[in-house]
Structure 1
Amino acid sequence: MSQRPHRKPTVQAAQFFDGRIGGTDPALVSEAADRAAALLVRGARSSDDEQIAQRVLLLAETEGLETLADLWSGAPADSLAGCLWRLYVLRAWVHGSPHQATQQFEAGRTSAQVARVVAGVADPPGPDQLKAMIDTTLAGIAQRDFADVLLRASAFARVVAAGRAHRQDPDAHQMLVLSEQLEAAAHQELESPLA
């Protein structure tokens, strides 16, 4: 068996790596996403501009849900970015399937009475009432404490989860997890502001 001579690896110059074309550094993307989320949540509340709440509400429409997914979908549930992603997905679902959302909410109202009250949906709940509730909740990012926004969205998701369970919908667990994530984040926000 012949042995190859051992050669010391060559150290590449910095220019070698600088000249390589590659994707965006994930750490930089994550940092930018976190910064954008903090500016949106903390900056919107400190503004007196009445149009800020409307801009916050319509962010997914103006920038695209796919753009928000690129920024925030991988963020932990207990971060500002992760919370925003979950809130915008919940809103997109209600606006995209208002009749389904109404049926599921209606099915869960009796078994999640406290959550129904916290969610703040008009009685009787219809598609327009659910859309108005979710819009008011998201606009609250610019108007109320972020913990309140999270608790209200969590309560709504809990009622929907109960409705899905009542209807034996296989996605009931997914909505329950969303509710629990938002509630846990709200409690963390109350203790120490999320980052």
Structure 2
Amino acid sequence: MARDYQRPLLQPTDDFDWIIGSDEPGAAHRIAQETSWALLDRVRSVADPEVVERVVALATDQGIDDIAELWADASAHSLAGQLWRIYLLRLISARDPEGSAELFRIGLGASVTIDPVVAGVEEPIDPDSIGALCDTILRGVFSGDLATALDRASSYCRIMSLGAASLADDRDALDDAHAGLLTKRSLRYAAFADELRAGSRRWRDGTLD
């Protein structure tokens, strides 16, 4: 029997910590799988732009709590885990638009890969363009090619990781604690980048849970 637990609390964006609990991990896994695939199939089958926009808007209102409760513990190898990461990126950009834009601008200057092209953000880089990019990625999950959306999200995370790492270097001599937090954020964005890229490959070869 599952114990009672509190709904997940939305933590500061530099922590990326989302806490939910269950004494029945098998049941939680099944629910995560079933709900994520059902949502994706339903929205894609309807092909209604208004439905897509409502699903996208879940990242910026109380719907995110329900998503966290269902998917926050899902494996990165699952559709639920991939969708949670996409929603979390959108939520972070909405909660900290200026900080997200700053990290992206700095990371863009440090990137020597094709990630800026893959991510596809519009100039100038500001809170509006970063929010629009995250919305476009999330919208693409439900109305475009999922693998492409995951690749774009991965590239976005790679650039954000570079931005956080560069800021950490700048802060290191001035504020060691802040530099440590930025380094942690960089590593988490890098982990997201790898997981989302792997999710794209799994979607393409049919092995995404």
Percent identical: 31
Residue in structure 2 matched with residue 132 of structure 1 by the alignment: 132
Tell me the residue number matched to 2:156: 156
Partner of 2:11 in structure 1?
none
Residue 91 of structure 2 corresponds to residue 75 of structure 1: no
Gaps of 5+ in 1: 1-20
1: distance between equivalents of 2:190 and 2:2?
A: 39
**After superposition, where does 1:91-130 map in structure 2 within 5 Å?**
91-112=90-111, 113-130=113-130
- Offset, 1:22: 5.1
Partner of 2:54: 55
| Contact 1:154-1:180 within 8 A present in 2 as well | yes
Partner of 2:173: none
| CA distance 1:163–1:144, shift in 2 (3 Å) | same
CA distance in 2, matches of 1:68, 1:179: 21
Q: Quick one: which amino acid aligns to residue 100 of structure 1?
A: G
Structure ID, larger Rg:
1
TM-superposition CA deviations, 1:63-112 (whole Å, max 9, x none): 53222121111111010010111111110000110100011000011232
Match of residue 188 from structure 1: 202
Deviation at 1:44, TM superposition (A): 1.8
- Cα distance in 2 for partners of 1:150, 1:130 equals 16
Rounded to whole Å, the distance in 1 between the matches of 2:126 and 2:148 is: 23
What are structure 2's unaligned runs of at least 5 residues?
4-21, 169-181
Retained in 1: the 8 A contact 2:137–2:152?
A: yes
TM-score, length-normalised on structure 2? 0.78
RMSD of aligned residue pairs (Cα, Å): 1.7
